[in-house]
Amino acid sequence: MAPEAKFHHRASLKQTNKPFKRRFATKNSMRDKAKGRTQRTSVKGKVQRKHTRADRRNAVRTEQRKKRDHLLMSTRIFSGRHRAPKIVAVIPLCADVQTSDLVRSLFGCVDEEYPAKGHGQVLNVARFKQSIQFVEVGRNVLDILDAAKVADYVILGVSAVVEVDAFGEHCLTALQNQGHPGVFPIVQGMDAVGSKRQGDVKKSLQSFMSHFFPTADKVYSTDTPTDALAILRMITGQAPRGIKWRDIRPYMLADSVEFEPSADNAEIGSLALTGFLRGANLSANRLVHIPNFGDFQIDHICHVPVAVEGAKGDAIEEDDEPVVLDRPEAELQDSLVDANEPNTLNNEQTWPEDEEMGEWKERMMEMEENEERLAADAASKGQRTISVPKGTSSYQAAWIAATTANDGSESEDASDDESSDEDMDGEDDEGMEDDDEEEEEEEEYEEMVVGADGKIQEENGAGSDDGGDDDDQLPSGEEQAQQLKAYLSERSRQNRDDVNFPDEVDTPMDVSARTRFARFRGLQSFRTSPWDPYENLPLDYARIFQFESFKRTQQRVLRMAADAPVKAGMRVRIVLRAVPRAAATQAGGRPMVAFGLMQHEHQMSVVHFTVLRTDAYAEPVRSKDPLVAHIGFRRYNVQPLFSQHSLGGGSNSNGVHKFERFLKHGQVSVASVYAPIQFGAAPVSLYLPTTALDGVPTLVATGSSLEVNPARILAKRIILTGAPFKIHKRSAVIRYMFFSPEDVIWFKPVQLHTKYGRTGHIFESLGTHGYMKCVFDGPLKQMDTVCMNLYKRVFPKWTTSLWSEHEQTDDQKLQWVGRVTTEQDGDGDEAMDL
């Protein structure tokens, strides 16, 4: 009998062979060993034991249990005796689609009568033990977006005869960017199409819908009760797909709206919103946002359950007194103050020396003597001088002279103080920039002479009454069209120059470069050079809020929202304080939605979001252009600053990002504005505030929120260029970059580079016309261009305001409403607004 083989357990670690001896070592290893370098083999993790079949089955069961619990939690509010109905928004994409016919066919397939109540028809499907609330909206972008924000499903009504127009395509794009729930395309008017062409029509519509919504794999119809019942079965038989930015906060589609005016003002009072609370839990200490109207405080929250027919003795009657679920606590309730009050006394001050005080006293005495001499000369002639904004006509200046007749000196001093304050607080150098600079120019003043008779004197001393009316007339329609065309062509030229010669500017000849570019600095490395984010901040930064750790604050706020007393799925009545009457009147013709805010979401800060330009809009979009931003559930008028989007960053990143003058095509940029804080990622859409001629709002860019970070540095870059005059191997004489030797000495520490890849520095100044000798790291070519990069930090403008439909003109409101052209319109000159 052969001896039994000895059992050997295989080692779980990788096999380690005997190392080579010295005589077989390589030169590199011998050199490293001589220098004392050691190479340590890293152990990748601990020894993992082999998983058995039981372990794998247990892991699968655990994953199934988690998914089942999540599904039960998401569908719990739609089941039971006091269940909440699923919200289905019905949106017409074609001009001839009638939403009432679609909803009526869905009611008729279960033998229910269609209630003609306009909005919010509730269908109780006893066969499937669920309820469906239909929200019919017209061809209005704002109504469509608001309904889709709170809907569980969206029915897109298309026509078998009329194609989807530009308004319908824009609605699909807006829904795609905002985030959409489950989509059901339903075709209407198949009877008008022959039976042989019905299949082709559905295939064409299916191909069109799959371009926007790939999950919509079928186009449905409600021509027969069987088809309509299949749609109800699909809506009631599946769980709604969640939208992350919406599900982390409470929201409500109000079933009823009640307004009670206050005793002091009939236009402001308390607003009661009744409906099912969805999303997250709600606390009375938080605020509630109503789109287009702002944020409001909660007075109290009551539980208002639905009365159940045929229930037993414990049935709840509608006349019963509602139970108060939560009331706000005075010390814990969020305030409506969105910004801090800046304290100008906290600014750094240095006490002047005696020599400086003496110099200023001498200058003040000289200025006073000059003013007395001028005043005496004017008094002898019966004239006086007033300061008016530059460009003011003589007619307007006469009104200013009349109002300042009694205290002209005081008003003149006040205007001087205001202009000096603007120069100190604003951006001093921007008034001297060329037209290609996007910074706001400061208001300039000029002096006009007022005669003894109170009339404005011209430069030649003659009165301006005769012929003055011609200068004050507004331009005609043709002149306005020509001016608009010239303005757009100038913007296009600036955009081309920015693409071909990015950030290049010309050094002015009448102003010294060290004065013109006093706020700019040179950086040895744009990516790693240190830049203090709290250096020379504007006064607006004293008004904003900043977190020590935004991520930790967001986690704490989300945990606090989960522990709120009012649970999601309950039918409640939320009573808001100090709400305008217009918020209640608008609910009669459109869906009334409300969103609960989390803590700190009412406070202002510097918000950044990534955007990408759409291909449909080809005109140049400049930084600080007024736009309408749809950020999640909010809409604001903003003037964003655009900057480059750098992925990652790294440990050596200094947080400096290059400012962009224009929003470029095919490139993801970061837009920065002053806006209220918003936790979690949210979709962003930028629209033009101007009126669209065809009734379709102009979408400029789309994206998502990035971060809330006031310390993000936006550095505006300018490039000063010069041309080689004489080249001596590695040294060269450069001209046309500066025009004085003082400027050359001032910018001598800044590094130079060329467009052909050479780097160098200024060695010395030559002559008196700005020529300079520079040394480079290699020979220079004659056709090369020498460049110098200068940087300055820029800040957003505090122009953010809540977009309100009531503040828009009739023409601006028209762009949010789709038009339909009938056959009698002919060429479409006459249109009917829906």
pLDDT over 90 at 750, yes or no: yes
Least confident span in 71-75, 235-239, 410-414, 752-756: 410-414
Q: In which band, very low, low, confident or very high, does the pLDDT at 165 lie, cut at 50, 70 and 90?
A: confident
pLDDT over 80 at 604, yes or no: yes
User: According to the model, what pLDDT value does residue 658 have?
Assistant: 92
User: According to the model, what pLDDT value does residue 318 have?
Assistant: 47
- Residue at 677 is within a domain: no
- Residue at 262 is within a domain: yes
Helices 198-212 and 166-178: crossing angle in degrees, nearest 10, is: 40
Q: Are residues 270 and 325 in the same domain?
A: yes
Q: In which band, very low, low, confident or very high, does the pLDDT at 826 lie, cut at 50, 70 and 90?
A: very low
- Residue at 82 is within a domain: yes
Q: Are residues 80 and 200 in the same domain?
A: yes
User: According to the model, what pLDDT value does residue 813 have?
Assistant: 60
Name the one residue in this structure whose structure tokens are 């900043």.
Answer: 546
Q: Which domain holds residue 721?
A: 504-515+715-793
User: According to the model, what pLDDT value does residue 2 have?
Assistant: 54
With a CB cutoff of 8 Å and minimum separation 6, the contacts of 218 are 185, 206
Dump pLDDT digits (tens) for 211-229.
Answer: 888 888 888 988 888 989 9
- Residue-wise over 36-57: b if at least 16 C-beta within 10 A, else e? eeeeeeeeeeeeeeeeeeeeee
In 3D space, the residue among 215, 286, 228 whose CA is nearest the CA of residue 597 turns out to be: 286
pLDDT over 70 at 372, yes or no: yes
Cα–Cα–Cα angle for 288, 290, 295, nearest 5°? 50
Least confident span in 193-202, 378-387, 621-630, 695-704: 378-387
- Residue at 124 is within a domain: yes
Give the three-class secondary structure for 652.
coil
pLDDT over 70 at 829, yes or no: no
Dump pLDDT digits (tens) for 551-576.
Answer: 899 999 999 988 899 988 889 999 99
CATH value at residue 774: 2.40.10.190
Q: Are residues 134 and 216 in the same domain?
A: yes
Average pLDDT of the chain? Answer: 78
Percent of the chain with pLDDT over 90: 28
- Residue at 490 is within a domain: no
Dump pLDDT digits (tens) for 418-433.
Answer: 443 444 344 444 444 4
User: According to the model, what pLDDT value does residue 426 have?
Assistant: 40
Q: Are residues 143 and 284 in the same domain?
A: no
User: According to the model, what pLDDT value does residue 423 have?
Assistant: 42
Q: Are residues 300 and 413 in the same domain?
A: no
Q: Are residues 185 and 144 in the same domain?
A: yes
pLDDT over 70 at 38, yes or no: no
With a CB cutoff of 8 Å and minimum separation 6, the contacts of 736 are 507, 721, 722, 723, 770
- Residue at 704 is within a domain: no
pLDDT over 60 at 234, yes or no: yes
Q: In which band, very low, low, confident or very high, does the pLDDT at 415 lie, cut at 50, 70 and 90?
A: very low
Q: How far apart are the first and last CA of the chain?
A: 100
Q: Which H or E element spans position 301?
A: strand 294-303
User: According to the model, what pLDDT value does residue 589 have?
Assistant: 66
Q: Are residues 271 and 237 in the same domain?
A: no
Q: Are residues 90 and 219 in the same domain?
A: yes
Q: Exposed (0-12), middle (13-18) or buried (19+): which is 816, by Cβ within 10 Å? A: buried
Q: Record the tokens describing residue 454, joined without a space.
A: 């109170």
Phi, psi dihedral angles at 381 (to 5 degrees): -95, 0
Dump pLDDT digits (tens) for 120-156.
Answer: 688 888 888 888 999 988 888 888 888 999 999 999 9
396 and 471 Cβ atoms separated by less than 8 Å: no
pLDDT over 60 at 201, yes or no: yes
User: According to the model, what pLDDT value does residue 790 have?
Assistant: 94
pLDDT over 50 at 725, yes or no: yes
Q: Of 463, 493, 525, which closes a domain? A: 463
pLDDT over 70 at 71, yes or no: yes
- Residue at 827 is within a domain: no
CATH value at residue 127: 3.40.50.300
* Residue 212: CB atoms within 10 Å: 17
Q: Are residues 224 and 170 in the same domain?
A: yes
Q: Are residues 129 and 87 in the same domain?
A: yes
pTM of full prediction above 0.75? no
With a CB cutoff of 8 Å and minimum separation 6, the contacts of 536 are 793
SS (H, E, C) 788-829: EEEEEEECCCCCCEECCHHHCCHHHHHCCECEECCHHHCCCC
User: According to the model, what pLDDT value does residue 30 have?
Assistant: 76
Q: Are residues 102 and 147 in the same domain?
A: yes
Q: Are residues 114 and 237 in the same domain?
A: yes
Cα–Cα–Cα angle for 553, 557, 561, nearest 5°? 175
232 and 106 Cβ atoms separated by less than 8 Å: yes
Percent of the chain with pLDDT over 70: 71
Q: In which band, very low, low, confident or very high, does the pLDDT at 438 lie, cut at 50, 70 and 90?
A: very low
pLDDT over 60 at 647, yes or no: yes
Dump pLDDT digits (tens) for 508-538.
Answer: 888 889 899 989 999 988 888 889 999 889 9
User: According to the model, what pLDDT value does residue 479 have?
Assistant: 65
Domains of the chain: total:
4
497 vs 325, which has greater pLDDT?
A: 325
In 3D space, the residue among 677, 600, 676 whose CA is nearest the CA of residue 335 turns out to be: 600
Dump pLDDT digits (tens) for 658-706.
Answer: 999 989 888 999 999 999 999 989 999 999 886 554 567 889 999 999 9
Give the three-class secondary structure for 100.
helix
Least confident span in 234-248, 710-724, 732-746, 755-769: 234-248
Q: Of 594, 629, 656, which closes a domain? A: 594
Least confident span in 54-68, 387-401, 609-623, 634-648: 387-401
Question: How far out from the chain centre does Cα 567 lie?
Answer: 31
- Residue at 114 is within a domain: yes
Torsion angle in degrees (nearest 10) through CA of 546, 552, 554, 556: -120
pLDDT over 90 at 409, yes or no: no
- Residue-wise over 689-709: b if at least 16 C-beta within 10 A, else e? bebbeebbbbbbbbbbbbebb
Give the three-class secondary structure for 417.
helix
- Own/partner long-range contacts of 437-440 (Cβ < 8 Å, ≥24 apart): 437/505, 438/622, 438/623, 438/624, 438/661, 439/794, 440/624, 440/797
Give the three-class secondary structure for 65.
helix
pLDDT over 70 at 346, yes or no: no
